[in-house]
């Protein structure tokens, strides 16, 4: 009896959903970026504590906006994944 192992491991590329894979990949990238933007937010707060200037408030706001933007786009990506 001949066991055709090759057929068991063969992947059918024609049925692969490229759109889904793209969203999956972007979701992963956004997840990494979310962690990065959170670290940037914390770091800006530490640096503003080290050097106190009037524009520190603006930098805090910008880093927070960056973090919130990353959260919103990540949620959008996840919603595309689960639809």
Q: Could you list the residues that contact another protein (CB under 8 A)?
A: 18-19, 22-23, 26, 29-30, 33, 36-37, 39-40, 43-44, 47, 49-55, 59, 62-63, 66, 69-70, 73, 76-77, 80
The sign of the dihedral angle between the CA atoms of 66, 72, 77, 82 is: positive
Q: Which is nearer to another protein, 4 or 53 (CB)?
A: 53
From residue 47, give the alpha-carbon distance in Å to each of 20, 39, 59, 69, 72: 40, 12, 10, 22, 26
Q: Which is nearer to another protein, 6 or 18 (CB)?
A: 18
Q: Which is nearer to another protein, 9 or 55 (CB)?
A: 55
């Amino acid at each position: 009896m001949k066991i055709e192992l090759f057929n068991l491991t063969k992947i059918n590329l024609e049925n692969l959903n490229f759109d889904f894979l793209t969203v999956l990949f972007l979701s992963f990238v956004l997840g990494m970026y979310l962690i990065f933007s959170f670290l940037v937010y914390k770091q800006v707060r530490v640096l503003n504590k080290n050097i106190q200037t009037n524009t520190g408030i603006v930098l805090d706001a910008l880093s927070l906006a960056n973090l919130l933007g990353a959260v919103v786009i990540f949620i959008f990506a996840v919603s595309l994944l689960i639809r």
